[in-house]
Amino acid sequence: MSLTELTIADAAAGLRARKFSAVELVRAHTDAITALNPRLNAYITPTSDAALQAAACADEALAKGEAKPLTGIPLGIKDLFCTSGVRTTAASNILKNFVPPYESTVTANLLRDGAVFVGKTNLDEFAMGSANITSAFGPVENPWKRNGDADTKLVPGGSSGGSAAAVAAGLAMGATGTDTGGSIRQPAAYCGIVGLKPTYGRCSRFGTIAYASSLDQAGPMARSVRDCAIMLQSMAGFDARDSTSVNCDVPDYSAAVGRSLKGLKVGIPAEYRAEGLSAEIEAAWQQGINWLKAAGCEIVDVSLPHTKYGLATYYIVAPAECSSNLARYDGLRFGERVPGATLDAMYEATRRAGFGPEVRRRIMMGTYVLSAGYYDAYYLKAQKVRSLIRRDFTESFQKVDVLLTPTAPTPAFAQGEKTDDPVQMYLNDIFTVPASMAGMPAMSVPVGLGATGLPLGLQLIGRPFDEETLLAAGSALESAAGFTHRPAIRAEGAK
């Protein structure tokens, strides 16, 4: 099997058994990036040279028997995580030349465990988008193709579209993502990989460029549930530098993979049978229900009555926070500056040139909902609805252990579709946003191909800090589905 097709678990075993070296493994991926990135645009900044040097060090560690869990494993890093000495852009013009002198906690944890970073992956600008078309560095192409249609370029989903495309196409064994309203799960579904958004507070936000602070959460994206467990093991943990990070033990996530589901109660929320849910996804959902039943789960109908307010609430809370979080990009201390005759003129010119239309739209919406006279009607109301959404989940989890829903209402769509009306684009996140609003952990697992040959994902939502149940149920779906399909554009195919 090609080195770019291995799982992290298999690659780690192969490295330890000296079946191949870390340099060989990493070179297979950097070669794939060289070959395919010009087309897919999954990476904004490949770091091949540094990766090969790190791989040589990994081989030394392996030779000395000092290998750590991720030693020699090539990973992509979403370009929202600050990486010391490596340009970090947030896919924005305003940070196009920003080189942070510090490392985010999540990437520092991965490096501590031996990971090799092969590059910074593309994303929607400041993580704002659901199709990876708002990046200042150009859109990312989904490596999957519709049956018999090699020409139409599909979106990889967003905002972690570069990470999803890279992992799907074999340009990384796994990648970090961040999820604010679905930015890990929706692209994972569109690209046929596994993506896990942990509980809010599970992974530190220190050094990760903020979009909406009360929602942002880092998580792993990989080609198997076990690989997500391995990555999360390294990424998670308390960090005193993030006041919202939660100080509770990190369990052995890999131990949960393959765990028996006997007696597990799986909730099926009625409200997710929403309008616009495609028939193929509804069918995949039913299939997932049947698989879990066969694995010994008890299926329970539940209701999350405030689901319908999730999206509207999200598009108040997230822009409000972003309008404040992005105020620091003012051209004064770092990032790009466009001169102006006065301070205000400089701000305006800098921010007009620095931010793309979607970012500007969200800053304006956020500024509006926080304004005097509108705060109560929008922001305060949204916070109240948010607690109702959270309560829906809390009450459901008194009856069931995990929820099963579709990840997105449709499979990947084409570049250029849904771009006229921002609201059409926002609807992609209708199933992922509620768990984000509630801070619950959730995971997307690929379960099959739809009518046009595109991957379909199902979402599992768990109790706070119970990522283990997600991993257990996710691995059951994974093995039942036997999802081994690979995208049309991939490293192996390109050779």
> Of 347 and 465, which CB lies nearer to another protein in the complex structure?
347
Q: Does 320 bind another protein (CB under 8 A)?
A: yes
In the complex with another protein, the residue whose CB is nearer, 157 or 310, is 310
Minimum separation from the CB atom of position 197 to another protein (A): 17
Peptide bond into 159 cis (omega under 30): yes
Counting Cα atoms < 13 Å in the Cβ hemisphere of 367 gives: 9
Query: Rounded CA gap, 302 and 399, in Å?
Result: 8
Least Å from the CB of residue 30 to another protein: 26
- Angstrom distance (rounded) from CA 82 to CA 120: 10
State the catalytic residue, choosing from 21, 135, 160, 183: 183
Binding status of residue 349 toward another protein by CB under 8 A: no
From candidates 291, 347, 355, 426, binder to another protein by CB under 8 A: 347
- Is 153 marked active-site? no
- Judged by beta carbon, residue 86 or residue 225, the one nearer another protein is 86
Among the candidate windows 18-26, 339-347, 411-419, 468-476, which touches another protein by CB under 8 A? 339-347
Distance, in Å, from the CA atom of 46 to the CA atom of 49, rounded to the nearest integer, reads: 9
Q: From residue 199, how far is each of 35, 309, 392, 399, 464 by CA, in Å?
A: 36, 21, 16, 20, 6
44 lies in the binding site for another protein (CB under 8 A): no
Helix (H, G, I), strand (E, B) or coil at 381: helix
Radius of gyration of the chain (CA): 21
* Residue 204 known to be catalytic: no
Site stretch for another protein (CB under 8 A), options 63-71, 158-166, 273-281, 330-338: 330-338
145 is catalytic: no
Tokens 């801070």 locate to: 439
Residue closest to 144 by CA, chosen among 191, 193, 194: 191
Smallest gap from Cβ 343 to another protein, in A, equals: 6
Answer for which of 19, 308, 328, 384 binds another protein (CB under 8 A) is 328
Name residues contacting another protein, limited to 374-433 (CB under 8 A): 375, 379
336 binds another protein (CB under 8 A): no
Give yes or no for residue 371 binding another protein (CB under 8 A): yes
Are 74 and 173 within 8 A, CB to CB? yes
Q: Interface with another protein includes 63 (CB under 8 A)?
A: no
Give yes or no for a contact between 76 and 119, defined as CB atoms under 8 angstroms apart: yes
Is 334 among the residues that bind another protein (CB under 8 A)? yes
Cβ-based nearer residue to another protein, 56 or 370 = 370
CB of 125 to another protein, least distance (A): 13
CB atoms within 10 A of CB 149: 12
> What ranges make up the beta strands (E) of 386-454?
402-406, 442-449
Q: Give the Å distances, CA to CA, from 391 to 210, 397, 442.
A: 26, 10, 16
Q: What are phi and psi of 218, to 5 degrees?
A: -80, 150
C-alpha distance across the termini of the chain, in Å: 13
Query: Is the alpha carbon torsion for 494, 153, 426, 209 positive or negative?
Result: positive
Residue tagged active-site, from 21, 48, 78, 436 = 78
Q: Contact between 7 and another protein (CB under 8 A)?
A: no
Active site residue ranges: 78, 159, 183
Contact residues toward another protein (CB under 8 A) are 81-82, 88, 90, 95, 98, 100-102, 104, 205-210, 212-214, 240-244, 320-321, 323-324, 327-328, 330, 332-334, 343-344, 347, 367, 370-372, 375, 379
